[in-house]
Amino acid sequence: MQPQDLQFPSQTGTLGAVQNRVLRNTYLMLALTMIPTLIGAMVGMQFNFGFMRSSPIISFVVMLAAFYGMIFLIEKNRDSGVGVALLLAFTGMMGFLLAALLQSAFALANGAQIVAMAAAGTGATFFGLAAVATVTKRDFSFMGKFLMVGVIVAMVAIVANLFLQMPALALTISAVVVLLSAMIILYTLSGIIHGGETNYVSATLSLYISIYNIFTSLIQILMALTGERD
């Protein structure tokens, strides 16, 4: 599929047609992002991420720089095919980084079940929220400021726990991230439906990060609560 096959929102059309096109293209692009994510995870599973566990603070800073650097580039090029290519590259990188968590999960006796449960929970959450946003057509734009504050607070807590290393705080952060990510999904889909979001690259990026965060957080929660050592 070529980038031009995915119509950009700057093209002509009625407001309703633009909304439907953005929503359709967002779902299509979101499905496509799963391919590089899977490939990245499969490649990453062959690597030793011991350096990340031995130097969590340095690793976090490097990953954060790469994460926000890619987001900046994607948003800067969101109205062109370059944005699509960068988005796919970003999801491949995120899949690669996901491998470190998957290795920890699969090291448990019930690791496969934990990953499967997290995947099922993530899928159910996304499709359930998508149904709510589409069927009710309620405008969730009022959550914008709250979500911004929530993300900042969560990020501060994550950084603090890099030093504190408190399992209870880590579990709480994971639960909060699941809740915030679910709300961001509603907020993003509502923005598309009500015309506040007219760019499917930006919408896909937001939804992908939220889905990724829900999946990884659910794995961490399940590992902490139900993980079985060999």
pLDDT in tens, 105-162: 999 999 999 999 999 999 999 999 999 998 887 889 899 999 999 999 999 999 999 8
Amino acid letter, 207: L
Give the residue with greater pLDDT, 103 vs 230.
103
Q: Which two tokens stand for residue 223?
A: 């590992």
Question: What average pLDDT score do residues 26-51 get?
Answer: 93
Percentage with pLDDT > 70 across the chain? 93
How far, in Å, CA of 81 to CA of 87, rounded?
10
How far, in Å, CA of 39 to CA of 33, rounded?
10
Neighbours of 17 (CB within 10 A): 11
| Confidence label for 15 from pLDDT (cuts 50, 70 and 90) | low
For residue 54, pLDDT over 80 is answered with: no
Question: What average pLDDT score do residues 16-25 get?
Answer: 87
How far, in Å, CA of 167 to CA of 165, rounded?
6
pLDDT at 14: 55
How far, in Å, CA of 101 to CA of 118, rounded?
12
Annotate 65-118 with DSSP letters as a single string: HHHHHHHHHHHHTTTSHHHHHHHHHHHHHHHHHHHHHHHHHHTSTTHHHHHHHH
- Whether the full predicted model's pTM is greater than 0.85, yes or no, is yes
| Confidence label for 4 from pLDDT (cuts 50, 70 and 90) | very low
